[in-house]
């Protein structure tokens, strides 16, 4: 059966998903949006569908709410004002909200689901590249999971089932992994720039090489066995030298270094770091954190 799908929210995520679903053989009905020009732009980007009204959603098999987290409850309320198609699947793409935000639609016989594309989507084109083979974290009513998996597969993504739980913790973890990694990349580039002597393109290559190999090792072996560097060696003198250099650099990310090395110390203890060496590092990093 051909799936007729509509998207509420013609922004970065909605546009990237819509275009990828078109590629995957899903019938994109179009977009509902507050800004007509932006909504028309999303239709053009996807090469399918049209500008829709809320009333048009009653004809959709699947409705995807791809709006910002603060806007999601109001978007659901507005859509619930027009009764949805019986047994249709209504899903949102938010990492923050759980299924209960979709409860106003259940009274009309709709099924609930979440398809959170756990990839960075800074813009629609970058999102398209990142969606392919990326994880789609799925949560839904029991009678919705089969269709959610089909939708994830049609995006070319890897389905990752996720039970309901403390959704804000899940979202915080995603923010640390994606936004935190991006921020860390920027911080490391800034420290290398303060050092001087390395071409900007080479700086980026160096940071990427270190980070990519560390992440690859963590995925293969886990974080504790993959840890290297002065903390796992118990080398408090080198860590002290790092802190002195960062403080002297002025606008260097001392706080980020301390927070991450404290987490490295936790992993080093799991690896069996000598208690005396661990205590020296704890005192050094703890004192810096208190500054």
d(CA 164, CA 27): 29
Mark whether 32 and 141 lie in a shared domain: yes
Say if CB 119 and CB 43 are below 8 A apart. no
Mark whether 86 and 100 lie in a shared domain: yes
Mark whether 31 and 73 lie in a shared domain: yes
Handedness of CA 44, 49, 50, 51 (dihedral sign): negative
Which residue's entry shows tokens 């290398």?
192
- Average pLDDT in the chain: 95
pLDDT digits (tens, 9 = 90+) for 235-259: 999 999 999 999 999 888 999 999 9
Q: How many domains does the chain have?
A: 2
Strands 4-8 vs 27-32: parallel, antiparallel or unpaired: parallel
Q: What does each C-alpha distance from 83 to 6, 31, 100, 111 come to in angstroms?
A: 15, 18, 18, 13
pTM for the model? 0.89
Can you give the pLDDT at residue 110?
94
| 290, pLDDT greater than 60 | no
Mark whether 150 and 172 lie in a shared domain: no
Mark whether 76 and 174 lie in a shared domain: no
All residues at 6 or more sequence positions from 204 whose CB lies less than 8 Å from its CB, including other chains: 189
Strand partners, 56: none
Where among 119, 139, 165 does a domain terminate? 165
pLDDT digits (tens, 9 = 90+) for 42-96: 999 999 999 999 999 999 999 999 999 999 999 999 999 888 888 999 999 999 9
Share of the chain above pLDDT 70, in %: 98
Mark whether 149 and 21 lie in a shared domain: yes
> Which domain, by its residues, includes 122?
4-165
CATH of the domain at 104: 3.40.50.720
pLDDT digits (tens, 9 = 90+) for 88-130: 999 999 999 999 999 999 888 899 999 999 999 999 999 999 9
| 287, pLDDT greater than 70 | no
Where among 145, 165, 185 does a domain terminate? 165
Residue 5 phi, psi dihedral angles, 5° rounding = -125, 135
Q: What is the mean pLDDT of residues 218-247?
A: 96
Mark whether 161 and 194 lie in a shared domain: no
Mark whether 154 and 199 lie in a shared domain: no
pLDDT digits (tens, 9 = 90+) for 148-206: 999 999 999 999 999 988 999 999 999 999 999 999 999 999 999 999 899 999 999 99
Mark whether 134 and 16 lie in a shared domain: yes
Can you give the pLDDT at residue 86?
87
Mark whether 187 and 271 lie in a shared domain: yes
Mark whether 128 and 24 lie in a shared domain: yes
Mark whether 161 and 17 lie in a shared domain: yes
Where among 108, 131, 165 does a domain terminate? 165
């Amino acid at each position: 059966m051909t799936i007729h799908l509509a998207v509420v929210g013609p922004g970065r995520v909605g546009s990237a998903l819509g275009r990828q679903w078109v590629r995957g053989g899903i019938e994109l009905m179009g977009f509902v949006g507050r800004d007509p020009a932006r909504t028309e732009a999303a239709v053009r980007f996807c090469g399918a569908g049209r500008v829709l009204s809320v009333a048009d959603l009653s004809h959709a098999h699947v409705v995807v709410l791809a709006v910002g987290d603060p806007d999601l409850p109001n978007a659901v309320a507005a859509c619930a004002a027009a009764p949805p198609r019986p047994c249709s699947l209504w899903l949102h793409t938010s990492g923050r909200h759980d299924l209960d935000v979709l409860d106003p639609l259940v009274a009309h016989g709709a099924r609930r689901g979440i398809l959170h594309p756990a990839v960075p989507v800074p813009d629609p084109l970058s999102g398209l590249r990142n969606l392919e083979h990326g994880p789609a974290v799925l949560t839904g009513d029991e009678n919705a999971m089969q269709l959610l998996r089909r939708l994830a597969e049609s995006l070319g993504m890897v389905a990752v089932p996720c039970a309901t739980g403390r959704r804000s913790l899940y979202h915080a973890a995603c923010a640390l992994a994606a936004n935190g990694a991006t921020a860390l990349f920027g911080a490391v580039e800034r420290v290398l720039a303060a050092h001087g002597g390395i071409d900007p393109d080479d700086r980026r290559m160096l940071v990427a090489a270190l980070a990519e190999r560390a992440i690859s090792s963590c995925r293969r072996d886990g974080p504790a066995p993959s840890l290297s560097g002065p903390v796992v060696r118990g080398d408090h003198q080198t860590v002290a030298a790092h802190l002195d250099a960062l403080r002297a650099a002025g606008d260097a990310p001392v706080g980020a270094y301390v927070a991450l090395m404290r987490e490295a110390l936790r992993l080093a203890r799991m690896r069996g770091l000598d208690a005396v060496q661990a205590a020296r590092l704890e005192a050094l990093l703890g004192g810096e954190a208190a500054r």
